[in-house]
Amino acid sequence: MWKTVPVSQDGAYPGDFMLQNVSYPHVKLGQEFPGVSFRGHLRSLPKLTEITSSSHASHGNHKENSPFLNSSEASKGGDYYDKNLALFEEELDIRPKVSSLLGKLVNYTNLTQGVKEHEEAENTDGSKKKVSKSPSMGTLMGVYLPCMQNIFGVILFLRLTWMVGMAGVLQSFLIVLLCCCCTMLTTISMSAIATNGVVPAGGSYFMISRSLGPEFGGAVGLCFYLGTTFAGAMYILGAIEILLTYIVPQAAIFYPSGAHDASSAMLNNMRVYGTVFLILMAVVVFVGVKYVNKFASLFLACVVISILSIYAGAIKSIFDPPEFPICMLGNRTLIRDQFDVCAKTIVKDNITVASKLWENFCHNTNLTTENCDEYFLLNNVTEIAGIPGAASGILKDNLWSNYLEKGEILEKAHHPSVDVAGQKSNFHLYVLSDISTSFMVLVGIFFPSVTGIMAGSNRSGDLKDAQKSIPVGTILAIVTTSLVYFSCVLLFGACIEGVVLRDKYGDAVNKNLVVGTLSWPSPWVIVIGSFFSTCGAGLQSLTGAPRLLQAIAKDNIIPFLWVFGHGKANGEPTWALLLTALIAELGILIASLDMVAPILSMFFLMCYLFVNLACAVQTLLRTPNWRPRFKYYHWALSFLGMSICLALMFISSWYYALVAMLIAGMIYKYIEYQGAEKEWGDGIRGLSLSAARYALLRLEEGPPHTKNWRPQLLVLLKLDEDLHVKYPRLLTFASQLKAGKGLTIIGSVIQGNFLETYGEAQAAEQTIKNMMDIEKVKGFCQVVVANKVREGIAHLIQSCGLGGMKHNTVVLGWPYGWRQSEDPRSWKTFIGTVRCTTAAHLALLVPKNVSFYPSNHERYNEGNIDVWWIVHDGGMLMLLPFLLKQHKVWRKCKMRIFTVAQMDDNSIQMKKDLATFLYQLRIEAEVEVVEMHNSDISAYTYERTLMMEQRSQMLRQMRLTKTEREREAQLVKDRHSIARLESLYSDEEDEGDTVPENIQMTWTKEKCDAEKRNRGSAVGSFRDLISIKPNQSNVRRMHTAVKLNEVIVNRSHDARLVLLNMPGPPKNTDGDENYMEFLEVLTEGLERVLLVRGGGREVITIYS
């Protein structure tokens, strides 16, 4: 009954509740406790003295101090034992109040990949730390602009004009559309994942690993890391190309020795300068990341100004196109810096003299034509405008593709020319194609210019509202950049002459950057702007990649990467930066922008493919935790994005695609076998669960066909007092029999009350799992707590497994030492289990002398597995040796099958029939038929039976006298003091045999006489043991056991393993003890025996 307890004016409890004269510290005068009764809760509530002392000492060390509440909260007794939560106060340590939980979640902060901590560590002087600011960046500064900066890059300035020239405007549109669709669909998937909860540092790696599991996460995370690293190398190569080709060509270290060595000299220059730049950038990143972040906006400004200058130049070209004349010989484009005047002859002082062009083609200055190039003589030299302007109508000429092979001369279609070959030695004077081009090659080169969409999700820790900013900012950035690319393709095609577009390095326009020729007010705007923007992008890549590697290393899913998780004291990833620089150096040694671009395209496409897969899997599985705030996604869009990614991989370079997949596959398998076990609630686990459910429902349709039957094991293990596995060889035998196939359940029973022994059960389960790992048993473990061991085993036999995935065979240990023990419970449990398996129509395997069975490391190079086929019970005896021989331990053993013929059997015909049967079963084995003659029962058999019955009678009498002794002891002691130690296969005696805990006896004269008579009869029965006559049924059974044992020992005494039909237990339970004796006699003298009992169905068939 609930009461309201008033508090008296001095603050103490009145009346009956006055425990001590101590005031309650947190209770105001006249305050009441509504709805609280102290009667049933005094045990769980703290004493008043405890509360008082804790408030004065403010230690807060009560028993209930919980992991959810800090000491300051615990010391406020009033907050802890809330007057409205008395019903829940006993569980507040494990189930915190909602207010305290929400307080913890609100204070959760989330940092980007190490940048923020690094800046704070450098800005603080060490003595005091800055209080971390709450994330404050909006969509524009936090997502839109960083994505823009990462997407726009070197390809736009150095290769887009060349791509338009080669592919034509229409195919260029298609390339841009494909790539932009790929990133847009990936962004939709990424937005769904990013808004499905908080995304900490690690960006895309975190999203994929938490969605698809550590294996996919690690593989894709490393692919993304390699992509970002190679992107750094590509940006550095782009910066060097701008520097050496357009800014200071005279800075080159290597010069071409001959006319045809220009490309190799350029590549060597790129390698040297690229390495120097890489070292400088790595030092900058190592010294101060904050400088990289500070200058990010400057680099972005360079990109924006450069793009604006292109638009300005295109508009200006409508009415005032810039002067960039191109010199053509016939329809061939000439390299402009090889001569000064675009003419064959020039007039100097009224005299016609040979021009520099004439000297180059004819190798003389006197205008003689003997050594002249034939093509030079037959074709005219003309000059055309390089930038005709948007109003010139050049667009229709640039609509179609004009792919070239390596070394082909750039020619202007429909330009007048006489078609002769000319001298090959003069080809260096023309603008040549440096690589073979095709649609596929151009896709691989262009794709890096649309990557960078992850920049926003990588900064999620700095965003005020990441779940709103990431989708909006990233999609806007992709729309903006896509519009810029489409408009640039159109403008380049409409304003610039086709041969100039196809001229990659601007040789026809005096080594000017082709984009620069269009820009306004000066080509230098784009040259300088693109140089700084590529340097900035390189720095960003070298900043981001090591942090990504550090995030993967810290997750500890790839053990050999652990060293890269460490760094400077402020968290800066020093070792990861070193590895990143080394990998980037490999890209720089390739030295060609066009070769590096497809490599990083592969890695980025692999990453995007898995982002789409993650979204599709989560959507289709409909996992309860999949609740993205971003609603505009669909699994079909994710699959489309995945398909485009896969298509682009193989379009751009099929062999790079295969290499990237191989790398990802190897990392996946490595993490699967070596990596740390992680449970991240990922989608692949959910997918496995759905697949398992589907498969189980299919299995439920009916029992398996005989062809598909294999032993699905339930192994009943015995644990000792310390919860260690008593017979680990049972597990070894199970692993050899299964060889990793089918179902294996390891079951064990702990005796006791579930509420009290739950911890023991958990510890036992862990012990068994560890032993399963050691013995290489692939399966499940189940530990049951039951009041009686026999009941626990019955529960396991009935309830293990799920649906169609249930055990059909029980493996049971032999109860060693049952003869020596006065206690009948061990063998009673054993026989009870045999009866349970028979009732459940399950097969039973009893390995006897299991400690002598071979370990997994042993090998039998010779020997026999002997099968004694006495009665047919489904073919288990044939199937088991065949399955054992699949394992390396038993592989070289030969199989022998013995069957027993009676006097009226035709043993010769039996042998033929058995050989035919084995041939049809496709089992190779020697066949022998053993004839057992009818013989008289020997004296040994008779005596053995007599001893068995005398022993059982004697034990029964001893148990009776033990009961008497316990009754007498009960009179002296008031209660039973010793609890017997129970093992797995020992159980309490049957209810009739057990002695009650307390026997209250009132002795009367009649009872005393009855006790004396009982005692006298017990003594008399001991005398009767001598004159006992054995039961004839038992004599016959013993005769069979002795005769069979003689035959088996005679033929199979040296066999590696003997398989034998196990006779069933007697229907009458009085003969259980004799049954154990028969089994002992049957297997006497054999080192390793497997007793087999079928489950009542055929398990082997001759049909295919």
Tokens representing residue 533 in the block: 């923007």
Q: Which segments of 668-808 are extended strands (E)?
A: 713-716, 744-751, 780-786
Judged against a pLDDT cut of 80, whether residue 1074 lies above it is answered with no
pLDDT attached to residue 154: 85
Distance CA 59, CA 798 (A): 53
For residue 297, give the 3-state DSSP assignment. Answer: helix
Say yes or no to pLDDT of 949 above 70. Answer: no
Nearest to 362 by CA among 420, 416, 432, 423: 423
- Separation in Å, CA 1081 to CA 1048, 1073, 1088: 12, 13, 14
User: What is the pLDDT at residue 89?
Assistant: 60
Report pLDDT for 83. Answer: 53
Q: How far is CA 687 from the centre of its chain?
A: 13
| Residue 1101 pLDDT exceeds 80 | no
Q: Which residue(s) pair with 411 in the sheet?
A: 332
With cut-offs at 50, 70 and 90, classify the pLDDT of residue 996: very low
pLDDT tier, 16 (very low <50, low <70, confident <90, very high otherwise)? very low
Q: Angle, nearest 10°, between helix axes 876-884 and 729-738?
A: 90
Instruction: Give yes or no for residue 885 having a pLDDT over 50.
Output: yes
State the chain's mean pLDDT as an integer.
Answer: 77
The number of beta carbons lying within 10 Å of the beta carbon of residue 317 is 23
The arithmetic mean of pLDDT across residues 121-130, rounded, is 45
How far is 310 from 385, CA to CA, in rounded Å?
Answer: 18
Q: What is the pLDDT of residue 315?
A: 92
Split at pLDDT 50, 70, 90, the class of 56 is very low
Task: Name the more confident of 577 and 623.
Answer: 577
Q: Which of 984, 552, 452, 951 is nearest to 752 (CA)?
A: 984
Helix (H, G, I), strand (E, B) or coil at 1044: helix
List pLDDT tens digits, range 655-693. 889 998 898 888 888 888 876 566 666 666 777 777 888
For residue 676, the 8-state DSSP code is: P
Coil, strand or helix: which one is 92? coil
Query: Which residues neighbour 1067 within 8 Å (Cβ) at sequence distance 6 or greater?
Result: none
Q: What is the pLDDT of residue 233?
A: 92
What is the C-alpha separation between 218 and 472, in angstroms, rounded? 28
Q: What is the DSSP string of 559-584?
A: GGGGGGG--STTS--HHHHHHHHHHH
Tokens representing 157 are 């300035």
Please give the Cα distance from 524 to 501 (Å, whole number): 18
pLDDT at 134: 61
Cα Rg of the chain (Å, integer):
44
Residue 975, exposed/middle/buried by CB under 10 A (0-12, 13-18, 19+)? exposed
Which of 261-265, 361-365, 850-854 is predicted least confidently?
261-265
- The conformation of residue 394, written as its DSSP 8-state character, comes to G
- Highest mean pLDDT out of 46-55, 206-215, 406-415: 406-415
* Continuous segment of H or E residues that includes residue 931: strand 926-931
What pLDDT shows up at residue 1036? 72
In one-letter notation, the amino acid at residue 94 is I
pLDDT digits (tens, 9 = 90+) for 1031-1041: 666 667 777 77
Residue 86 binned pLDDT confidence (cut-offs 50, 70, 90): low
Q: pLDDT tens digit string along 906-938?
A: 778 888 888 888 888 788 888 888 877 666 556
pLDDT, position 94 = 65
3-state secondary structure 506-540: CHHHCCCCHHHHHCCCCHHHHHHHHHHHHHHHHHH
- Over 50: is that where the pLDDT of 76 sits? no
| Confidence (pTM) | 0.69
Query: 860-889: b or e for each residue (b if 16 or more CB lie within 10 Å)?
Result: beeebbbbbbbeebbbbbbbbbbbbbebeb
As a whole number of angstroms, the distance between CA 606 and CA 221 comes to 10
